[in-house]
Amino acid sequence: MATRPWSFPASSMPVLVSMMFLWSQDIEVSWGLGFMALVNIILVHAAGNVWSDYFDYKKGVDSDDTYSVRTLISGQFTPREVFTLSVTLQILAVAMGLLMVYLTGITLLWFGLAGIALSLLYPPLKYAALGDLVIMACYALLPMLGTTFICSGYIVPEVLWLAVPVGSITVAILHSNNTRDIETDGRAKIHTFAMLTGRQFAIGMYIFELVLPYLWLIITAFMGLVSPRTVLTLITLPIALGNCKKMLSYHTEGIKAIANLDEATAKLQLAFSLVLAISLITDALI
């Protein structure tokens, strides 16, 4: 529970989509290495979640009256235990990453170093309103480019056309959390992007981040940059619109309306990316 497993679609889906993209492009895929990449990024994500919660607790961002992970606040675990868990997961992730570097090539090392550095620096960067950019890099751009190298032996930059919609939903997970926590984050004297823009703009930004993926795929499919079958993701649009409705209901129902919107957005990520992956599999088989 301390690792927040409900959030793992944010890290695992970019790897899965990237693998299916390679397959759809008739590029030979090393499935074993792809599975290792999938496990590795989940380890990095789990370590980052625990690391962030440890610093949020120490800085007073998480307290009894916040909608945060309560493993530390409730006394279920001590700060030392949570710190040890994070370090242990980081060590496992680094060890697996080094094994993949050995199996693939030194190029992967730079992706790994960037990912680990951003994961460790995420708390202070989040407090300086840079969390959204870090999430886009860590859970879209880096893993999707890195996965193409791991699975094929070279970087396939065209995967970035799919990184935009996948990454946008992942950033929305964090953004919904930060929008909900504007008051309590301000009390802790930290700064998030949602705080800097104000709640009204933050609500609009969340809706933009959920609508963008569908518009992006429609436009890029029309331009021939991605497969036309990727517009099958439109079948998940009702889920996205339901989440947008929840965000808009904050005006009338208050903060409880978006208390669990981050989890709901992670579920959208899972549904959207699975349909996107299936559309790419269809391309590979037909």
Phi and psi torsions of 128, nearest 5°: -105, 25
Tokens of 247: 């965000």
**Average pLDDT rounded to a whole number, residues 96-121:** 91
CA distance 60 to 83: 16
User: What pLDDT is attached to residue 148?
Assistant: 97
Q: pLDDT tens digit string along 116-126?
A: 888 888 888 88
Question: Residue 277 corresponds to which amino acid?
Answer: A
* 77 Cα distance to chain centroid: 25
**Average pLDDT rounded to a whole number, residues 219-241:** 96
pLDDT for 64 beyond 60: no
DSSP tag of 256 = G
Q: What stretch of H or E contains 133?
A: helix 131-136
Supply the range of the domain harboring residue 87: 5-285
Between 212 and 82, the more confident residue is: 212
Question: Average per-residue pLDDT in the chain?
Answer: 90
Query: Angle, to 10 degrees, between the axis of helix 79-104 and the axis of helix 107-127?
Result: 150
Between 127 and 39, the more confident residue is: 39
60 contacts 88 by C-beta, under 8 angstroms: no
Between 39 and 74, the more confident residue is: 39
**Average pLDDT rounded to a whole number, residues 208-223:** 97
CATH number at residue 58: 1.10.600
At 61, is the pLDDT very low, low, confident or very high (cuts 50, 70, 90)? low
Nearest to 216 by CA among 160, 136, 171: 160
Q: pLDDT tens digit string along 139-198?
A: 999 999 999 999 999 999 999 999 999 999 999 999 998 998 888 777 778 889 998 888
At 97, is the pLDDT very low, low, confident or very high (cuts 50, 70, 90)? very high
172 contacts 265 by C-beta, under 8 angstroms: yes
Percentage of residues of the chain with pLDDT beyond 90: 65
Query: Domain tally for the chain?
Result: 1
Question: Strand locations in 48-130, DSSP E?
Answer: none
